C-alpha cells in the first residue's frame, strides 16, 4: 500500500533517499555531476513528500518557491526497484496539490537529458518544455519544463 507523507528536508528518511538519488545521478552523469551538486542542495525546505510502500521508504520529492506564483520541483526520486508503479506520479500530484493550497499557480523543474523516464513522467503529467532558467541556461545536459497548476 502506498502512503505519502508530508515532511521537511530535515527528515532523516528524506536525507537517505537523497543519498540514493545522488548515487543514481553520479552513475548517469559521472563527468559533470560535480557541477550540479551545489545546485541540488535542499536545506530548510518545509515542503517534502516521502513515499512509502508497506512502510518501506521508496521515493521522495520537494518544492520550493521559484517566484511569487511559481514553485520549483526538486529532488524527485523513486528507488529503481519500485519504478513503473505510479509512485513518482503520485508524489508529483501530492506536491502540486500542496503548492496550490499555498496559492501557487505554476510549477517549473529541471531534469537531465539522460533521464528519459523522468521526462516522460513530466510530459504525461502535463509539463511542457521551456527555455532553461537560471542557473541552467548554459547547461546542455539540462532540460526545463513547466506546468500551470490551475
The grid coordinates listed for 140 are 546542455
Supply the range of the domain harboring residue 83: 2-148
β partners of residue 33: none
How large is the average pLDDT for residues 123-149? Answer: 95
DSSP for 1-65? -EEEEEE-TT-HHHHHHHHHHHHHHHHH-TTTHHHHHTTT---S-S-EEEEEETTEEEEEEEEEE
The grid coordinates listed for 10 are 530535515
How large is the average pLDDT for residues 83-95? Answer: 97
Distance CA 113, CA 147 (A): 19
- When divided into structural domains, the chain yields a total of 1
Q: What is the pLDDT of residues 9-47, one digit of tens each?
A: 999 999 999 989 888 876 766 666 566 555 556 789 999
Secondary structure class of 145 (helix, strand, coil): strand
Supply the pLDDT for residue 6.
99
Residue keyed to cell 503520485: 90
Among left, alpha and beta (phi > 0; psi -120 to 50; other), residue 86 is left
Q: How many residues belong to the chain?
A: 150
Q: Is the pTM of this model over 0.85?
A: yes
**CATH assignment of the domain containing 65:** 3.40.630.30
The candidate with the shortest Cα–Cα distance to 94, out of 31, 39, 51, is 51
Amino acid at each position: 500500500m502506498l502512503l505519502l507523507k508530508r515532511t521537511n528536508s530535515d527528515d532523516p528518511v528524506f536525507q537517505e533517499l537523497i543519498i540514493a538519488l545522488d548515487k543514481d545521478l553520479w552513475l548517469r552523469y559521472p563527468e559533470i555531476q560535480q557541477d550540479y551538486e551545489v545546485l541540488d542542495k535542499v536545506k530548510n525546505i518545509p515542503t517534502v513528500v516521502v513515499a512509502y510502500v508497506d512502510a518501506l521508504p521508496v521515493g521522495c520529492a520537494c518544492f520550493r518557491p521559484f517566484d511569487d506564483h511559481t514553485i520549483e520541483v526538486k529532488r524527485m526520486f523513486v528507488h529503481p526497484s519500485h519504478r513503473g508503479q505510479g509512485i513518482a506520479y503520485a508524489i508529483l500530484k501530492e506536491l502540486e496539490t500542496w503548492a496550490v493550497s499555498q496559492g501557487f499557480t505554476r510549477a517549473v523543474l529541471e531534469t537531465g537529458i539522460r533521464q528519459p523516464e523522468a521526462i516522460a513522467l513530466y510530459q504525461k503529467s502535463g509539463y511542457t518544455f521551456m527555455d532553461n532558467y537560471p542557473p541552467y541556461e548554459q547547461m546542455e545536459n539540462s532540460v526545463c519544463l513547466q506546468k500551470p497548476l490551475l
